[in-house]
């Protein structure tokens, strides 16, 4: 947003260095942490940011005029009065000068933060075969996008397929005759899949500790106007819009054959989106008056699960002897028989009247990647509140057999078993605020993706997080031949 407080608050455009070849190592002047250092642009003192100990905010509250600070890592400026990241600059261009100054310092010698990041990314063989994923810079409350992109980039078959696509820029002229949405500004066709391809390739080149997804975010603004601006957005909504748009574009860009396989999308065709994330629900409604049964099949890319209300008060992992909310509780709540409310009376085709009825979901076809969204935000009176309940989830061997139609339960051992690949976490209490990070596993090592910072972590850290979106990969991936990678599908 355009901040009106810059001229009165921004006074510095450089920081002192101890010697020519030794750039400053930024750390909070209060708690000495070097995690998320924010420099006050009025006095030049460094404090920790919003999601550490909040000493930068404390400094602003004590000195009201010191309202603007800059993240020393991703170089985004933030105003505490506006409570937003800012996109404008002072008349003298002080923000731009400071960014260039900090960038020049970072090129002299890696800071402690950069050194720790490299150690987190490389293995004992100096990274020869280790993970090479970069971080994603926060462009101003874009952590919701970064968390989703990092999760998808660690879904091996999905990321590998998108990365190996040829450049689709030459398809733009042909696409102008299709139904792909055109921007109002220029009339040119916008290809989200092409920008996603470039972003995923850059993420795994390993040449930078972090990259800026500006081009991808710009395209997202154009194709999905609701995500314009720098306000916080819901990561689950963004993921759904992203996957739906990718599916639509790929159907029109690439020559997918008609298919009789179970991985069917619209018009009898399947893209990598539906082949990886697509499943099928069976919705059974039974009239309680005459017993008439109605069945309907609904495709899905993810399942949204309620957290059972009896666990709402549990904000932390229960102590020994206390009942813990498990992922199985959420799945069973989703598939349990429930009686429809008076406002949802079912029009019975036999009775010819709206009657009381029950509803039950079965999973008719499981996806290759099972995406589970935990409904952590619910309406209370006139505002949304967050359900802070800790949900215990499986790391290995999530068995979905209990939720699949009995007649369709697979006979092979791995057909209904899933292993966790990524988790998105929402930090904070508000639906329209807070911060998103992601955990993902690569070659048996878990990593924490916090915007531009990527650090190795242990399994216990992952299992303690309050999951918002969980990505489980099927042990037996089933893909139609025309969507299989030419190699073993490894991300590189």
Query: Are 6-109 and 120-251 in the same CATH fold?
Result: no
408: pLDDT strictly greater than 80: no
Based on the residue annotation, tell me whether 143 is a catalytic residue of this protein: yes
CA distance 245 to 242: 5
Which one of 435, 442, 448, 465 is the catalytic residue? 435
Cβ neighbors of 453 (< 8 A, separation 6 or more) are 73, 113, 117, 135, 210
CATH entry 3.90.190.20 includes domain 120-251: no
353: pLDDT strictly greater than 60: yes
Lowest mean pLDDT among 22-36, 81-95, 309-323: 309-323
Based on the residue annotation, tell me whether 435 is a catalytic residue of this protein: yes
Give residue 85's pLDDT: 78
Most confident of 122-126, 366-370, 481-485: 366-370
Which one of 40, 69, 79, 143 is the catalytic residue? 143
User: Which one has a higher pLDDT value, 232 or 416?
Assistant: 416
Which residue ranges make up each domain of the chain?
6-109, 120-251
Cβ–Cβ < 8 Å for 276, 344: no
- Closest among 168, 165, 163 to 178, alpha carbons compared: 168
**Helix axes 156-164 and 192-203, enclosed angle (nearest 10):** 110
Q: What is the pLDDT of residues 59-85, one digit of tens each?
A: 888 887 788 998 887 788 888 888 777
Average pLDDT over residues 232-260: 85
**Helix axes 156-164 and 143-153, enclosed angle (nearest 10):** 90
446: pLDDT strictly greater than 90: yes
Provide the whole-model pTM. Answer: 0.71
Average pLDDT over residues 354-361: 89
Give residue 114's pLDDT: 35
CATH entry 3.30.40.10 includes domain 6-109: yes
131: pLDDT strictly greater than 60: no
In Å, the largest CA–CA distance within the chain is 86
**Residue where the block lists tokens 């710009």:** 218
User: Which one has a higher pLDDT value, 388 or 480?
Assistant: 388
């Amino acid at each position: 947003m355009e901040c009106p407080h810059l001229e009165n608050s921004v006074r510095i455009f450089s920081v002192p260095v101890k010697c020519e070849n030794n750039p400053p190592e930024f750390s909070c002047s209060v708690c000495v942490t070097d995690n998320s250092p924010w420099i006050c642009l009025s006095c030049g003192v460094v404090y920790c940011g919003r999601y550490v100990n909040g000493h930068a905010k404390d400094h602003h509250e004590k000195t009201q005029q010191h309202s603007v600070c800059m993240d020393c890592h991703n170089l985004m400026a933030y105003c505490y009065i506006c409570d937003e990241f800012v996109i404008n600059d002072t008349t003298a261009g002080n923000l731009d000068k400071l960014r260039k100054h900090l960038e020049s310092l970072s090129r002299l010698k890696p800071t402690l933060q950069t050194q720790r990041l490299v150690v987190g990314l490389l293995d004992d063989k100096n990274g020869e075969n280790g993970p090479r994923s970069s971080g994603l810079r926060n462009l101003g409350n874009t952590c919701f996008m970064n968390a989703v992109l990092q999760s998808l980039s660690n879904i091996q078959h999905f990321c590998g397929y998108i990365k190996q696509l040829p450049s689709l820029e030459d398809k733009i002229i042909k696409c102008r005759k299709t139904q792909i949405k055109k921007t109002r500004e220029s009339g040119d066709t916008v290809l989200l899949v092409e920008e996603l391809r470039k972003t995923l390739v850059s993420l795994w080149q390993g040449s930078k500790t972090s990259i800026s997804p500006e081009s991808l975010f710009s395209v997202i603004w154009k194709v999905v106007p609701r995500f314009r601006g720098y306000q916080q957005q819901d990561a689950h909504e963004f993921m759904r819009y992203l996957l739906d748009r990718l599916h639509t574009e790929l159907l029109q860009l690439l020559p997918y054959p008609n298919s009789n396989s179970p991985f069917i999308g619209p018009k009898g065709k399947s893209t990598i989106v539906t082949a990886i994330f697509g499943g099928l629900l069976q919705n059974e409604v039974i009239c309680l008056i005459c017993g008439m049964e109605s069945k309907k099949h609904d495709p899905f890319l993810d399942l949204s699960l309620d957290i059972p209300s009896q666990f709402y008060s549990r904000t932390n992992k229960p102590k020994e002897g206390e009942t813990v909310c498990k992922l199985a509780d959420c799945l069973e709540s989703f598939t349990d028989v429930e009686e429809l409310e008076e406002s949802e009376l079912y029009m019975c085709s036999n009775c010819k009247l709206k009657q009381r009825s029950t509803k039950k979901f079965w999973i008719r076809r499981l996806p290759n990647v099972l995406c589970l969204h935990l409904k952590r935000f619910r309406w209370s009176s006139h505002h949304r509140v967050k359900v802070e309940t800790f949900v215990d989830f499986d790391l290995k061997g999530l068995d979905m057999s209990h939720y699949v139609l009995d007649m369709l339960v697979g006979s092979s051992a791995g057909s209904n078993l899933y292993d966790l690949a990524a988790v998105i976490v929402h930090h904070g209490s508000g639906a329209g605020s807070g911060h998103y990070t992601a955990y993902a596993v690569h070659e048996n090592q878990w990593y924490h993706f916090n915007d531009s910072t990527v650090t190795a972590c242990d399994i216990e850290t992952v299992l303690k997080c309050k999951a918002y979106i969980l990505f489980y990969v099927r042990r037996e991936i089933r893909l139609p031949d025309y969507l299989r990678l030419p190699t073993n599908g490894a991300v590189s």
